[in-house]
Chains A and B, each alone.
Chain A
Amino acid sequence: NAGVTQTPKFRILKIGQSMTLQCTQDMNHNYMYWYRQDPGMGLKLIYYSVGAGITDKGEVPNGYNVSRSTTEDFPLRLELAAPSQTSVYFCASSPIERGGNNEQFFGPGTRLTVL
C-alpha cells in the first residue's frame, strides 16, 4: 500500500491564481481530511469528508473548496490564491472503526507559497 499520497510536493502561485492539491489514499478509508500547518502552529482543519459525496467545513474553510467523488480521492481547490494561504497542506485519512483505533494516516504534504 502506498498509503496517502499528495501532489505536488511544492508549488509557487501568484496572487489570484487557482490550483488543485491532489490527495489519494489506497486504504479504503471512508474518512478524509485536509489540514494546513503554519510555522509554530498546530494543524488546522480546512475540510473533511465522511464518504464519497459528503463533505463539510472544518475550522478554516474560507478560500478553499473540496469535492469527494470517489472513496480514494479528495482534492482541495484554491480559487483565488492569497498570501495568507502560504502554508504546508496535509491530507489525511482514517478508518473510523467503532470501538477501534481511529488514527489518522497523513500524506507527505504540499508546500505552497503565494507571492
Chain B
Amino acid sequence: EDQVTQSPEALRLQEGESSSLNCSYTVSGLRGLFWYRQDPGKGPGFLFTLYSAGEEKEKERLKATLTKKESFLHITAPKPEDSATYLCAVQATDSWGKLQFGAGTQVVVTP
C-alpha cells in the first residue's frame, strides 16, 4: 500500500531562517512526486513535480529534491508570505493518475 509521511507537522520560522520539510514515501512504482501549497480556505496550488531520484526543481525561495525514499522541500530565507501548509503526494505508475497525499506541514514565518 502506498504511504506518504510528512514531517514536521508544524514549523515556525523567523523571516530569513532557512529550513527543510521532509516527505517520506513508499510506493510500488513511482510515476511522480508532487508538492502543493495550500493557503487557509483555499484549494491546493501546484508547486513541483519530481520524477526520478536525483532530480531537483526550484521556484523563488523553494527548492524540491528527490531520493528513492524521500523528498525535501527547502525554504531559503523565507518571508511571511511563504506561510502556508505544504502538501506532498505520490502518484504510482498503475494509479490512473490518483494521488496519495501526506498530512502536510504547516509553516508559519514571522517577521
Contacts from A to B (Cβ < 8 Å): 4, 31, 33, 35, 40-45, 48, 50, 56, 58, 90, 92, 94, 96, 101-109
Contacts and interface: CB of A to CB of B under 8 A. Distances in A.
B49 A103 contact: yes
Contacts of A40: 9, 103
Q: Interface residues of B toward A: which range?
A: 20 to 34
14 contacts: A4-B43, A35-B101, A40-B9, A42-B89, A42-B104, A48-B98, A102-B49, A102-B97, A103-B34, A103-B46, A104-B34, A104-B46, A105-B46, A108-B42
A107 B43 CA distance: 6
Given A42-B104, A48-B97, 20 more contacts: A4-B43, A33-B97, A40-B9, A42-B87, A43-B89, A43-B101, A45-B98, A45-B99, A56-B96, A58-B98, A101-B49, A102-B49, A103-B34, A103-B49, A104-B34, A106-B45, A108-B42, A108-B43, A109-B42, A109-B43
